[in-house]
Each structure stands twice: as C-alpha cells, then as structure tokens.
Amino acid sequence: RKEVEQDPGPFNVPEGATVAFNCTYSNSASQSFFWYRQDCRKEPKLLMSVYSSGNEDGRFTAQLNRASQYISLLIRDSKLSDSATYLCVVVLNTGGFKTIFGAGTRLFVKA
C-alpha cells in the first residue's frame, strides 16, 4: 500500500464548479499535512497547510480526518487558473522527519 494515495484524475470541470480532492495516508506517525500545487513543467509550490480543525483560504478549504487518515481539498468557484496538479504531502515523525508526496491529482478547469 502506498504511503500517500491520491486519485490521479484528471478532473475536468467547468469554470465556477466546486471540486473536491481526497488523499489517504497509511502511517499513523504522520504529523503534518500540506497541499502543494504544481503547474505544468514548473516546480511545486505550497498551496496551504492542513490543520486538525480545518482551515480556509479564500476559495480553498482543507480538512483533516486523523481517525480515518485522510485529508481533503475543496475548491469553490473554480477558475481557469486553478488548472494544475495538486499534491498531497504528509510529514512523518519517526524519530526524524520524512516528507512524502502523493502522486498528485490533475485538474483541468474549462471555460
């Protein structure tokens, strides 16, 4: 079983749609969680951290469910510029810190 799993997509949605991505992780030693965004042929960039209480940043909402070991990202009112690959990132604390990236979910927002 992969340590971090994401639906690879692609998700094809019209502008203005709401889209949700899920990510599951297998190691209960997972301590911190993030969503990164990677545009085509570019480097990954942090989109937002994910907190236990859930957090929102404009049109983006992230949730963490430790009991079920998954995190989610909700994008409301999708824009063309949201088209990218969204990477789920988990940091394990097993004595040292280890960062594990999911394979990413591709999103295409169409006019």
Partner 1 sequence: ETGVTQTPRHLVMGMTNKKSLKCEQHLGHNAMYWYKQSAKKPLELMFVYNFKEQTENNSVPSRFSPECPNSSHLFLHLHTLQPEDSALYLCASSQHSGSDYEQYFGPGTRLTVT
Residues that bind partner 1 (CB under 8 A): 4, 31-32, 34, 42-46, 49, 87, 91, 93, 96-104
Residue 82 Cα to chain centre, angstroms: 13
Q: Least Å distance between CB 77 and partner 1?
A: 25
**Residue closer to partner 1, measured from CB, 13 or 91:** 91
- Among residues 78 and 86, whose Cβ is nearest to partner 1? 86
As a residue count, the chain comes to: 111
In this structure, which amino acid lies at residue 59? R
Give the residue with the Cβ less far from partner 1, 32 or 69.
32
CB 17, min distance to partner 1, A: 25
Contact indicator for 6, 101 with CB cutoff of 8 Å: no
Q: How far apart are CA 27 and CA 23, in angstroms?
A: 13
Instruction: State the alpha helices, DSSP H only, in the chain.
Output: none
Amino acid letter, residue 46: L
The CB-of-61 to partner 1 minimum distance in angstroms stands at: 19
